[in-house]
Chains A and B, each alone.
Chain A
């Protein structure tokens, strides 16, 4: 199993541009989570899905952020328009229905200039 796969690993974009982050969860995992990590705020949960349905998006900072999971093997996190304060490492994680814990991807380091 290749684990949770995120792309791209690094993204540098200009303020105002649209950014799309991608995640492929582990096959058979019913839960998918998007986290953001910064030095100031640590690891923050943004949104999570169960069986492709968004369950809790209360951590999404504002309307500029949106997430989708069109099928069990793919999810996207989109920021439009991006701002410098969105610079962070974004992690995707997946978990079985009654699993022992999450498996995290390697993250996408986003820099907005």
Chain B
């Protein structure tokens, strides 16, 4: 049970910001939002995670709504190498609970 809903696919022009939405309306108060991506033929790669506040790292920014029912992953300047499947996952942080990967969003960055 992935507990998240994402669009199946999206396109983004190279150099523009890619905004990937995720709905997690049943998230509980102590569950974090994680984002991973999987480039073709590779293992999934951790991108970012957050609880309430917006987060930013060298790869992306994560914007979580105030009610925490949805979030957006932002790739500020998409490149062709960002073409991948992006997974949004909710999970308790300080446990060994496994990540359940849903179907994700297939992002295609167009030259």
Binding site for B on A (CB under 8 A): 4, 31, 33, 35, 42-43, 45, 48, 50, 55-56, 91, 93, 95, 98, 100-107
Contacts and interface: CB of A to CB of B under 8 A. Distances in A.
Given A42-B102, A101-B49, A31 B44 contact: no
B96 A101 contact: no
Interface of B: 34, 36, 42-46, 49, 93-94, 96, 98-103
B99 A102 contact: yes
Nearest to B103: A42
Contacts of A105: 43
A54 to B, nearest CB: 12
Best-buried of B36, B46, B98, B102 by chain A (most CB within 10 Å):
B98
A100 B45 CA distance: 12
